[in-house]
Amino acid sequence: MIDIDDFVLSALEASVFVSPRDHGLTPDELIEVGQRLGFRPGELKDAIARAQRNAPWEPKLRLRESNPTRLSADFNFPQSPDLRDLQAFEFVRTELIQMAREFGESSAQLPRDNLVELGAARGLERRSVEVAITVTVLDGIMQERDGIVSHATNRLKWVLPSAQYGSTRRERPFERPWLTKSYPIVQDVIARRSDGRPLNANPLDAFESLLGTLGHDRFRAWWVQTRAELRALSPVQQPAAVTVLSASLAEAALTFIVTRAKAAGLMRRIDAEAARTWRFSDLVGGAKSGDPSVRAILDERTAARCLDLNQARQRIHAGFLIDEVPTGPIPDLKPEQAREALQTLDALVRKVIEWLEAGKGAS
């Protein structure tokens, strides 16, 4: 299995451990997780399409019995990491087996909530029991219908996890690097669904969702289009275009918070009635604060990086270069400068979001 396909299945598997009752990730969430691990958008979309073939109509990708995955309720082979709790897996099986012995197999069933609470009463972590139920159902050993959990047909006497684990030769565990890498990021992505943070950790995506609250929702299409054009460029092949668009979005992020910044005691020299005259360098200067009682948007290092970005983007102006480089050939803009432009843009927008979330920029 190629790395990117392994990553997609591992990320979906991680979602089971993070949110066992509502596992799965949307394509956008998978792309975010993948990009944070170094994959590119195009290859991620192709891998997601391959994983989604069995259910192309569903908004969220989830592991199913038909998915080729190593997520299993069996403990025959060691793996690393192994996020399963053996005792929880043993409990959900033996609890229903004991019921079958007392009342018959057809009556050996419990509401999921009850089974989880019984496990908690035995000292097991609730989420571990939830995971055990979900994985054992996905593996076809148990079934869940309308919240009622029972063994699947002819699976009541399936070998228990403890017996599998005890009889397994303690060989070298099978390594699961993409599960290790993706788990904390998937945990973060799923947490943002309900903890009040922007739904996307990528600052450019997260800032888009804030435009409405900043009073600039009409710029949403502009922001999305500019961001999309930037992401379609290569720092190696189009370093100048990357630098210019990075500076454009960076300047826009500060432009859209001028009203909030002035209300908080920043950007005092910016004329709120003359937006046409606002310059990136002035906005950067105004985002810092000489007053210790006022929380600045930018620290000195980030502000300096922004000024360097502003300087680099001037190279599209021939007149500027005539003065800046009075003799000799005009030097090329290097790919590493374009990459620095992208990193500076991310750092700036992240600082703006953090400032807004801190409440200092609240209206």
**Residue-level pLDDT at 360:** 43
Structure tokens at 91: 């409990």
| Phi, psi for 32 (deg, rounded to 5) | -60, -50
Pairwise CA distance, residues 193 & 15, whole Å:
13
Residue range 234-262: average pLDDT?
A: 93
Q: What is the pLDDT of residues 327-359, one digit of tens each?
A: 888 777 788 889 999 999 999 998 999 898 886
Question: Of 177, 182, 176, nearest to 29 (Cα)?
Answer: 182
Pick 24 or 361 by higher pLDDT.
24
**Residue-level pLDDT at 314:** 87
Contact by Cβ (8 Å): 173, 82: yes
Which long-range contacts link 140-143 to residues 24+ away (Cβ below 8 Å)? 140/65, 141/73, 141/93, 142/92, 142/93, 142/96
Question: Of 77, 347, 68, 330, nearest to 203 (Cα)?
Answer: 347
Q: What is the pLDDT of residues 72-130, one digit of tens each?
A: 898 888 888 999 999 999 999 999 999 999 999 999 999 999 999 999 999 999 999 99
**Residue-level pLDDT at 200:** 61
Burial of 188 (0-12, 13-18, 19+ CB in 10 A): middle
Position 36 confidence tier, pLDDT thresholds 50, 70, 90 = confident
What single-letter amino acid sits at 23? H
Does the global pTM surpass 0.85? no
